[in-house]
C-alpha cells in the first residue's frame, strides 16, 4: 500500500515541541522504555508524549471504574463509582428542575406529567475517544517495500484526522476546537482473567510466548499462521487493544460518556477462542462484551454487536453462537464461502444454536462491489427492525472500514456518509449507548475519512447526504433471504417463512411444467425426447419436448428458455399466495403456435433453476451446475436430435440465462454455422453472452450478421466509455428494447422475430442442398479479415 503524500509528517509522532516521553503504567507495574520492559528502540516509535496524555480530571474520572452496588464482579478489575456531576462524567438528573404541577384541564395525569426531567442531560455529556500510541508497536519484524495491509499507521492516520478536524484537545489539533471535544479514555492492559472469558488459557499463553521469541522464530511462526505477523511487542499491543475496548465499552455503559470510538489495533473479530487469524490475536469486542455483562450485571445484560467489517467476524459468531443475550449482526462479503475467512459459517442460514437460536444474523453479500444503497437497504429492512425488537442495553460496533470506497482488499464502495447514516441509526438504540471499536480497513485515507464521519455523528453532527440510495438486485435478493430465515425468530420480520416444511412439498415450477407438457401435447402434439446420459438425464426429464416432425425436411425452431415468470401478491404477514391472485406469463406458447402453424418443427427445452430430487419446503438456490448442465444438454441434443436429421433450416431461440447453452454450442462446434440459419436471444437484464472463438476468428462477425439480441434499455451493455462507441460484435446484433422484463419483451417483439425468421427461411427455399453449405462458407469467408 502506498503511503500518503504527508507520510513524513504523519510518521513524525513526536515533534520538536514535545519534550521527552511521559511515564505510562504497564503490565508489570513499572515504567520501562517499552511496554514489555524491553529497550530496543528500533522496533517501535517513541513513547507517548504529553500531547497524548489525558487531562488530570479526565484521567481521574476514567481510571479504575467500579461495578454498581450488589453486582458481583467475579474477580475482574472493578470500576470506581460514577462521578457526581456532569463535568466529571456522571449523568445526574437530580440537578435538573422537574415539573411539580400541571396546567388546568390537562389530559396528563399527575403521575404522567409530574417528575418530568427538564433540559437535555445527555447532550451535556461528551463523546469519548480511546487511542494509545503504544498499539503501534505491533509491527513486522523485517518490513519490506510491500507494506503489510495491517499497517501500524492505520490508527495514527485516524487520530490525526480527528485532530485536524478540531475534535481532540491535543497540541497537534487544529484550532479552534469544537465546543465539547472528545473526552480521552485511557487504554489499559487487559488482564488474563478478562481475556480468558473468551479465549482458552493455552491461547493466551501462546500469544504471551511471542514476547520472548527471537526474530527468526517470529518470522518462522508467521509462515505457519493464518494471515498474521508477530514481533516481541505484539503481546503488549494486544493487551492494550483489548483493554482499550473494555474501557471504552464500560465508559459508555456507565454513562461516563454518551458514546465513544476506540481507535485500537491489532483488530480482533477473526480471533477464535484458540486461534489467531486474519490479523487478529485476541477478540477485542467479544472480551469487552463479556466484561461489561460480568461487571454491570442486569444494567448491561443484552448487548448488540453490529459488525460492518467487509469480512465475516467468525470469532465473534463462535463466541456467542448459543448466547441468548448477545445479538450478533454481520454485513459482509460471502461469495459462496470463498471470501475470507471462508467456509459456510457466514451464510444467511447460520442463525445461532440452543438458547441463542435467532441471535446470529448474517447478511452475506454475494460479491464485492456493494455500495451505500445496499448497506442502507439492509439496515432499514433487517438490522434496525431486529435490533429494536431485541432492545439492547449497549451497542458495540465492530467497525472495520474495509468496505469503504478505495480499499483494495474489500473492493466495495461504502462512503463516509453511509457509515455516518448507519451510526446515526444505531444511536437510536440502547438510549444512545454506542461504542465503536476499530477492526479492519487498510486504505489509510479511506479509514481516516470514514472514522471521522462516524465520530462526528457520535458527537451530534447530522450525517451528510447520500448520493446513491438504490439497492442492487443482488442486495435485495440477499436481504429477502435473510428476512425469510430470520422471520422464524423475530416478530418484526415479514413475510414469514413456512413453518411446517412437510406441508409444502410440490414446487410450483414442477407443477407448471407438467401443465405445459399436457397443453403442448393437446394443442401441438409435442412429446418428450429422452436424454440418455447419466449426468443430466434426471435433471431434464420431461423438460425437452418436440413436435412429431422434428426429424423431417422442414425448418426447425429450437427454443432454450428459463421457466415462465410468475407474479403474485403474497400475504404481507404469512407470505402465502392465493391462486386467484397469481399470474403466469407464458409467452412461449405464442412462438410455438406460430412455428407449428407455419409447418415448422419445434424442440422446446425448459431449463429449470432447481431440480427437485425429493419433496421439500425449504428455500433453494439456483443450481450451481445449471450452466454446465445446460451446455451438456445442448451438445447432446445437437449430436443426437438436430444435426443427424434432415431439417432444411435451423433457428435457435434463447430466452433468459438458458441461452448460455446455445452460446457455448456456437463457440465449441466448428461446423455448426453451416447448418444454423439464425439465432434470436432475449436477454432483458441478464448478462449478455459473447460468442467468439480464438480458432474461428470470423465467428463473431458471423454471429452479428445472423442474430437478433434483444436487451433491456437500462442494461449496462449500453453504458460505453464515450457513449458513442458501439458494443462489440461478439455480442451479436443488439437491439435496445423499450421493455425491461423478459415476458414483456417476448410479447412486444414477437412479430419482428416472426418476420425475421420467415424471411430467412423463405430466402433459402429455392436453394439446392449443394448451394446451402457453399453459401454459408462464402459468408464466413467474407467475414474473415483479408490481409493487407
Nearest to residue 261, comparing CAs of 343, 185, 148, 157?
A: 185
- Least confident residue range of 24-33, 239-248, 639-648, 699-708: 24-33
CA torsion sign for 376, 377, 383, 384 is positive
From the number of C-beta atoms within 10 Å of its C-beta (0-12, 13-18, 19+), residue 522 rates as: exposed
Q: For residues 730 and 692, what is the distance between their CA atoms, to the nearest angstrom?
A: 6
- Least confident residue range of 55-59, 193-197, 314-318: 55-59
**353 contacts 321 by C-beta, under 8 angstroms:** yes
pLDDT at residue 368 greater than cutoff 50: yes
What is the residue whose three cell numbers read 467479544?
Answer: 286
Cell, residue 152:
501500524
Q: For residues 336 and 346, what is the distance between their CA atoms, to the nearest angstrom?
A: 9
pLDDT of residue 720: 57
Portion of the chain with pLDDT greater than 70, in percent: 77
Residues 6+ apart with CB under 8 A from 575: 484, 494, 495, 496, 497, 498
Q: For residues 647 and 595, what is the distance between their CA atoms, to the nearest angstrom?
A: 14
The CATH class of the 520-612+623-783 domain is: alpha beta
Q: Cα separations (Å) of 651 from 77, 257, 689, 742?
A: 79, 72, 17, 19
SS3 303: strand
**Distance of alpha carbon 388 from its chain centroid, rounded?**
22
Residues 6+ apart with CB under 8 A from 171: 17, 18, 50, 51
Angle separating helix axes 659-668 and 626-637, nearest 10 degrees: 60
Q: Active-site residue numbers? A: 270
Q: Which residue has the higher pLDDT, 246 or 762?
A: 246
Cell, residue 727:
458494443
> How does residue 25 score in pLDDT terms, banded at 50, 70 and 90?
very low
> How does residue 103 score in pLDDT terms, banded at 50, 70 and 90?
low
State pLDDT tens for residues 409-423. 999 999 999 999 999
pLDDT of residue 689: 85
- Least confident residue range of 255-259, 334-338, 522-526, 778-782: 778-782
pLDDT of residue 581: 86
Q: For residues 658 and 536, what is the distance between their CA atoms, to the nearest angstrom?
A: 15
Q: Which residue has the higher pLDDT, 580 or 486?
A: 486
State pLDDT tens for residues 473-517. 999 999 999 999 999 999 999 887 766 655 656 778 888 888 899
> How does residue 424 score in pLDDT terms, banded at 50, 70 and 90?
very high
State pLDDT tens for residues 235-287. 999 999 999 999 999 999 999 999 999 999 999 999 999 999 999 999 999 99
Q: For residues 309 and 362, what is the distance between their CA atoms, to the nearest angstrom?
A: 12
Mean pLDDT value of segment 41-54: 38
Portion of the chain with pLDDT greater than 90, in percent: 56
State pLDDT tens for residues 313-365. 999 999 999 999 999 999 999 999 999 999 999 999 999 999 999 999 999 99
- The domain 31-81+122-139+150-486 having CATH identifier 3.40.630.10: the answer here is no
> How does residue 109 score in pLDDT terms, banded at 50, 70 and 90?
low
* Max avg pLDDT among 19-23, 30-34, 665-669: 665-669
Residues 6+ apart with CB under 8 A from 440: 267, 279, 309, 310, 311, 400, 401, 402, 409, 410
pLDDT at residue 69 greater than cutoff 80: no
pLDDT of residue 462: 97
pLDDT of residue 104: 62
Q: For residues 129 and 185, what is the distance between their CA atoms, to the nearest angstrom?
A: 6
pLDDT at residue 311 greater than cutoff 70: yes
Q: Cα separations (Å) of 24 from 35, 187, 246, 620?
A: 8, 11, 18, 57
Angle separating helix axes 153-164 and 444-458, nearest 10 degrees: 50
pLDDT at residue 27 greater than cutoff 80: no
> How does residue 26 score in pLDDT terms, banded at 50, 70 and 90?
very low
Residues 6+ apart with CB under 8 A from 750: 587, 590, 591, 594
User: Where would I find the H helices in 585-728?
Assistant: 588-597, 626-637, 659-668, 699-705
pLDDT at residue 711 greater than cutoff 80: yes
- A 10 A CB-CB count for 329 gives 26
Give buried/exposed letters for 196-216 (b at 16+ CB in 10 A, else e).
Answer: ebbbeeebbebbbebbebeee
pLDDT of residue 174: 87
Mean confidence (pLDDT) of the chain: 82
Q: Which helix (H) or strand (E) holds 557?
A: strand 556-561
pLDDT at residue 195 greater than cutoff 50: yes
Domain map (residue ranges) of the chain: 31-81+122-139+150-486, 520-612+623-783
Amino acid at each position: 500500500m502506498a503511503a500518503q503524500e504527508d507520510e513524513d509528517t504523519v510518521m513524525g509522532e513526536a515533534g520538536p515541541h514535545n519534550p521527552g516521553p511521559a511515564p505510562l503504567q504497564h503490565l508489570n507495574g513499572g515504567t520501562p522504555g517499552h511496554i514489555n520492559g524491553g529497550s530496543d528502540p528500533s522496533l517501535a516509535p517513541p513513547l507517548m508524549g504529553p500531547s497524548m496524555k489525558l487531562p488530570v480530571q479526565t484521567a481521574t474520572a476514567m481510571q479504575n471504574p467500579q461495578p454498581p452496588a450488589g453486582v458481583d464482579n467475579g474477580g475482574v478489575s472493578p470500576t470506581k463509582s460514577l462521578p457526581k456531576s456532569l463535568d466529571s462524567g456522571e449523568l445526574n438528573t437530580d440537578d435538573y428542575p422537574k415539573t411539580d404541577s400541571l396546567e388546568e384541564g390537562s389530559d396528563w395525569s399527575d403521575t404522567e406529567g409530574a417528575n418530568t426531567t427538564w433540559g437535555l442531560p445527555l447532550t451535556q455529556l461528551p463523546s469519548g475517544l480511546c487511542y494509545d500510541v503504544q498499539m503501534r508497536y505491533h509491527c513486522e519484524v523485517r518490513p519490506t517495500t510491500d507494506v503489510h495491509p495491517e499497517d501500524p499507521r492505520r490508527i495514527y492516520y485516524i487520530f490525526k484526522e480527528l485532530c485536524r478536524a478540531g475534535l481532540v484537545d491535543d497540541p497537534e489539533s487544529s484550532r479552534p476546537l469544537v465546543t465539547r471535544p472528545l473526552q480521552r479514555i485511557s487504554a489499559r492492559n487487559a488482564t488474563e482473567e478478562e481475556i480468558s472469558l473468551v479465549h482458552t488459557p493455552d491461547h493466551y499463553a501462546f500469544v504471551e510466548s511471542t514476547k520472548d521469541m527471537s526474530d527468526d522464530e517470529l518470522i518462522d511462526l508467521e509462515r505457519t499462521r493464518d494471515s498474521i505477523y508477530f514481533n516481541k511487542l505484539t503481546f503488549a499491543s494486544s493487551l492494550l487493544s483489548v483493554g482499550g475496548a473494555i474501557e471504552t465499552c464500560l465508559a459508555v455503559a456507565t454513562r461516563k460518556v454518551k458514546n465513544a470510538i476506540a481507535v485500537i489495533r491489532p483488530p480482533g473479530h477473526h480471533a477464535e477462542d484458540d486461534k489467531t487469524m486474519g490479523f487478529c490475536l485476541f477478540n477485542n469486542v467479544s472480551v469487552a462484551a463479556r466484561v461489561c455483562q460480568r461487571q454491570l450485571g442486569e444494567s448491561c445484560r443484552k448487548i448488540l454487536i453490529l459488525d460492518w467489517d467487509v469480512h465475516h467476524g467468525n470469532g465473534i459468531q463462535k463466541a456467542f453462537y448459543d448466547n441468548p443475550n448477545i445479538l450478533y449482526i454481520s454485513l459482509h462479503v460471502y461469495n459462496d464461502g470463498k471470501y475470507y475467512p471462508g467456509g459456510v459459517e457466514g451464510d444467511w442460514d447460520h442463525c445461532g444454536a440452543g438458547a441463542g437460536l435467532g441471535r446470529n444474523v448474517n447478511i452475506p453479500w454475494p460479491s464485492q462491489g456493494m455500495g451505500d444503497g445496499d448497506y442502507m437497504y439492509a439496515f432499514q429492512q433487517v438490522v434496525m427492525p431486529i435490533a429494536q425488537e431485541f432492545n439492547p442495553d449497549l451497542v458495540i460496533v465492530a467497525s472495520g472500514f474495509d468496505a469503504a470506497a478505495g480499499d483494495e482488499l474489500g473492493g466495495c464502495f461504502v462512503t463516509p456518509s453511509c457509515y455516518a447514516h448507519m451510526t446515526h441509526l444505531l444511536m437510536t438504540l440502547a438510549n444512545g449507548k454506542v461504542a465503536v471499536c476499530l477492526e479492519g480497513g487498510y486504505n489509510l485515507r479511506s479509514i481516516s475519512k470514514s472514522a471521522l464521519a462516524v465520530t462526528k455523528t457520535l458527537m451530534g453532527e447530522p450525517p451528510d447526504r447520500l448520493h446513491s440510495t438504490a439497492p442492487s438486485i443482488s442486495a435485495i435478493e440477499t436481504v429477502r433471504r435473510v428476512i425469510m430465515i430470520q422471520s422464524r425468530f423475530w416478530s418484526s420480520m415479514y413475510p414469514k417463512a413456512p413453518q411446517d416444511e412437510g406441508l409444502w412439498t410440490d414446487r410450483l415450477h414442477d407443477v407448471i411444467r407438467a401443465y405445459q407438457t399436457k397443453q403442448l401435447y393437446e394443442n401441438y402434439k409435442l412429446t418428450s425426447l429422452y436424454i440418455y446420459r447419466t449426468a443430466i438425464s434426471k435433471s431434464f426429464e420431461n423438460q425437452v419436448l418436440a413436435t412429431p416432425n422434428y426429424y423431417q425436411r422442414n425448418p426447425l425452431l429450437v427454443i432454450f428458455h428459463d421457466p415462465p415468470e410468475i407474479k403474485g401478491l403474497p400475504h404481507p404477514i404469512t407470505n402465502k399466495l392465493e391462486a386467484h391472485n397469481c399470474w403466469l406469463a407464458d409467452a412461449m406458447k405464442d412462438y410455438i403456435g406460430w412455428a407449428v402453424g407455419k409447418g415448422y418443427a419445434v424442440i422446446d427445452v425448459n431449463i429449470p433453476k432447481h431440480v427437485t430430487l425429493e419433496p421439500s419446503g425449504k428455500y433453494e438456490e439456483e443450481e450451481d451446475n445449471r450452466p454446465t448442465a445446460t451446455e451438456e444438454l445442448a451438445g447432446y441434443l445437437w449430436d443426437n436430435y438436430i444435426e443427424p436429421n434432415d431439417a432444411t433450416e435451423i433457428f435457435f431461440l434463447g430466452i433468459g440465462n438458458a441461452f448460455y447453452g446455445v452460446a457455448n454450442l456456437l463457440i465449441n462446434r466448428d461446423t455448426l454455422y453451416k447448418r444454423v440459419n439464425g439465432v434470436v436471444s432475449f436477454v432483458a437484464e441478464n448478462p449478455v453472452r459473447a460468442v467468439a472463438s480464438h480458432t474461428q476468428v470470423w465467428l463473431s462477425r458471423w454471429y452479428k450478421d445472423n442474430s437478433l439480441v434483444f436487451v433491456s434499455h437500462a442494461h449496462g451493455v449500453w453504458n460505453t466509455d464515450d457513449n458513442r462507441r458501439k458494443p462489440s460484435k461478439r455480442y451479436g446484433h443488439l437491439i435496445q428494447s423499450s421493455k425491461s422484463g423478459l415476458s414483456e419483451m417476448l410479447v412486444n417483439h414477437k412479430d419482428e422475430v416472426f418476420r425475421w425468421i420467415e424471411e430467412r427461411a423463405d430466402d433459402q427455399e429455392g436453394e439446392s442442398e449443394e448451394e446451402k453449405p457453399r453459401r454459408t462458407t462464402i459468408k464466413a469467408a467474407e467475414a474473415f479479415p483479408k490481409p493487407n
